[in-house]
């Protein structure tokens, strides 16, 4: 069983968190190269799971379109929102207050070598966490992330509401980036982008607070996420 070191970075600007992610990623890759004659899993590897909350920022994945950012550079500045084009998959998304961003930095060769399974596992962690709040969530074929539709707090609806976006990048089977799970997130920030590049009329975004009708304790969600991450990835979380 692999051990994953957990770190809660608290409230950190996007660039600092990205730089920290990159430095940890480099450690894992360099360790792989140093032990290239050994089978993965036969030497210690410094897997990491980071949680962080960012100031308002939009990030655009390498396959995304600038057309999905609906604000000019001056408008971004006026609203205090940063913007970063980055090397993850996917299109544009928002990170900000009230959101739990998770960055797993794992050497997948110590777990499994299947990118599709990796993304499905992240979705499963979120789905299991939401179930503890009596929020039924699901996947949609061809759309990465976790969605909800009908909850006890809202009228029956045919609109699919995205509650967690996922975008990842792998280099030498070591992962970067991860998920953005809306907990108490101000949803108005999504009005200034085409979230994840999805303009379908039957799809929008939501948060756990919106689905339950009340503010949600962030620390309690983090503890549940850690527990489900350990179960789904069959690892031990340290820290």
Mean pLDDT within 95-124: 97
- Quick: pLDDT tens for 76-96: 999 999 999 988 877 899 999
Mean residue pLDDT across the chain: 92
110, 164, 196, 235: the active-site residue:
196
- Quick: pLDDT tens for 31-68: 999 998 999 888 999 999 999 999 999 999 887 888 98
CA distances to 73, 116, 126, 195, 200 from 138, in Å:
35, 16, 10, 18, 18
State residue 200's pLDDT score: 79
Q: Which of 93, 96, 100 is nearest to 80 (CA)?
A: 96
- pTM, two decimals, is 0.92
DSSP one-letter code for 107 = B
- Quick: pLDDT tens for 162-177: 999 999 999 999 999 9
Q: Is residue 164 among the annotated active site residues?
A: no
The Cα–Cα gap between 143 and 215 comes to 27
Model confidence at 152: pLDDT above 60: no
Mean pLDDT within 135-156: 80
- Report residue 231's pLDDT band, with 50, 70 and 90 as the boundaries: very high
All structural domains of the chain, each given as residue ranges with its CATH number in brackets, are: 2-238 (3.30.930.10)
């Amino acid at each position: 069983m692999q051990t994953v070191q957990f770190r809660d970075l608290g409230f950190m600007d996007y660039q600092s968190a990205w730089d920290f992610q990159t430095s940890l990623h480099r450690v894992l890759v360099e360790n792989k190269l140093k032990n290239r004659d050994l089978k993965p899993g036969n030497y210690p590897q410094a897997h990491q799971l980071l949680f962080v909350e960012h100031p308002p920022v939009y990030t655009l994945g390498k396959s995304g379109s600038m057309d999905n950012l609906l604000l000019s550079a001056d408008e971004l500045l006026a609203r205090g929102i940063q913007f970063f084009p980055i090397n993850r998959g996917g299109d544009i998304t928002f990170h900000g207050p009230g959101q739990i961003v998770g960055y797993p930095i794992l050497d997948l060769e110590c777990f499994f070598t299947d990118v599709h399974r990796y993304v499905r596992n992240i979705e499963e962690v979120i789905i299991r966490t939401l179930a503890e709040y009596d929020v039924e969530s699901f996947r949609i074929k061809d759309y990465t992330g976790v969605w909800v539709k009908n909850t006890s707090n809202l009228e029956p609806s045919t609109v699919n509401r995205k509650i967690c976006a996922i975008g990842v990048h792998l280099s030498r089977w070591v992962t970067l980036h991860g998920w953005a799970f809306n907990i108490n997130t101000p949803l108005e920030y999504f009005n200034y982008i085409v979230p994840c590049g999805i303009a379908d009329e039957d799809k929008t975004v939501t948060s756990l607070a919106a689905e339950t009708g009340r503010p949600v304790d962030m620390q309690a969600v983090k503890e549940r996420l850690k527990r489900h991450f350990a179960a789904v990835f069959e690892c031990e979380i340290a820290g």
